[in-house]
Copies of this chain bind each other. A is one copy, B any other.
């Protein structure tokens, strides 16, 4: 991966046209949660004039604008694509805006499956204006088929897994790593998806590699970092029961060979989002993850991360109590109440 100036040090306009929000623009909302100071404006004409903080509940003081022109006085040098059209392709209607950004010497940072750096229009235009097209999802070359090298590392590996996509696996991994560091553990978040890579500056999008190499990519992430940290906290992807993405989830689980799992769930979510499949009770999901991990490397779910963003603190506490009762495992909402409980559960498991 090419060495780049960290995004946190740049002046970024985030594109979220038509769908800026906590759930609707996952990349925009995720990036703004961790690096709000690097964002000069969000682009969404349907919410123009409002403040980012009023929409998200965090990252206050950043304006939402209707056009790129309105953002130019803030001297932006990056356009970050903060929304993902279905399938990850580029809508033709975005092309004029991308062109305009490049002509204004802004680098493009994108997590789409569509690669800007291979586009017949944008590649030469970027070269002419001296800007960088960073396709975050572009896999490194020459990934191997996994060979269980992750089983031999000294570092302890933790993987967040989920009941569905978009329930908080990335935030849970980030918060566990941060809380562990606060407690003196040499822990590192390891990104496996585009937003995690934008936030941390490092990782592989395991959903964008050729399918034979999913586990191999996960194995590389573990092996390449294991000598530098005591805990590797890997961001999970999708869900083992997701009709579209389960293959990525399982390849990541079998390739990373984690010592412990944290199961992430959105409180009260009944069905896979946009699919008819119901989500089974949490204790059944725990059993399913442990069952499918077992033949490659036995591991246990040691805690529940319950995303209660839509609930009051009191309601969240009640949901957490019910989850603990149902599973017999410690549970928390890492945003509302911190990741301490989960760090302790992991310590008990990996320090034995």
Report which A residues bind B (CB closer than 8 A). Answer: 86-89, 113, 142, 144-148, 206-212, 214-216, 240-252, 254-255, 274-277, 280, 288, 291-292, 295-296
| A-B interface, 5 closest residue pairs, ranked by CB to CB distance from nearest | A247-B251, A241-B295, A214-B247, A247-B247, A145-B244
- Is A288 a contact partner of B295 (Cβ separation < 8 A)? yes
Closest to A251 in B: B247
Contacts of A247 in B (CB 8 A): 211, 214-215, 247-252, 254
Are B243's CB and A254's CB within 8 A?
Answer: yes
- Which residue from chain B places its CB closest to the CB of A241 in the assembled complex? B295
CB contacts (< 8 Å) of A248 on chain B: these are: 211-212, 214, 247, 251
A87 close to B277 (CB less than 8 A)? no
**B residues less than 8 Å from A243 (CB atoms):** 146-148, 215, 254-255, 296
Query: Which listed residue, B113, B207, B212, touches A208 by the CB 8 Å rule?
Result: B212
Copies of this chain present: 2
In the bound complex, do residue B288 and residue A145 qualify as a contact, i.e. CB atoms below 8 Å apart? no
- Complex CA gap A207/B144 in Å reads 13
A212 touches B144 (CB 8 A): no
Q: When chains A and B are docked, how far (Å) is the Cα of A295 from the Cα of B279? A: 8
A210 touches B212 (CB 8 A): no
Q: How far is the CB of A289 from chain B (nearest CB, A)?
A: 10
B residues within 8 A CB of A88?
212
Minimum CB–CB distance for A339 against chain B, Å: 27
Given known contacts A145-B87, A240-B292, A296-B241, is B210 in contact with A113 (CB within 8 Å)? yes
Cα–Cα distance between A254 and B291 once the two chains are bound (Å)? 17
Q: Which residues of B contact A209 (CB under 8 A)?
A: 210-211
Q: Are A206 and B216 in contact (CB under 8 A)?
A: no
Distance in angstroms between the alpha carbons of A251 and B251 in the assembled complex: 10
In this complex, what residue of B is CB-closest to A280?
B295
CA distance in complex: A288, B287 (Å): 11
Residues on B with beta carbons closer than 8 Å to the beta carbon of A216:
244
Contact residue among B147, B245, B276, B288 (Cβ-Cβ distance under 8 Å from A212): B245
Contacts of A241 in B (CB 8 A): 295-296
- Taking CB atoms, residues of chain B closer than 8 Å to A249 are 247, 250
* A146 neighbours in B (Cβ, 8 Å): 243-244
CB neighbours (8 Å) of A255 from chain B are 243-244
**Cβ 8 A contact of A246, one of B86, B215, B244:** B215
Chain B residues in 8 Å Cβ range of A277: 148, 295-296
Chain B residues lying within 8 Å of A144, measured Cβ to Cβ, are 87
Q: Give bound CA distance, A1 to B119, whole Å.
A: 23
- Chain B residues within an 8 Å CB radius of A210: 113, 207-211
- The answer to whether B245 and A215 touch across the interface, beta carbons within 8 angstroms, is yes
Give the CA-CA distance A280 to B292 in the complex, in Å. 12
A208 to B211, CA, bound (A): 6
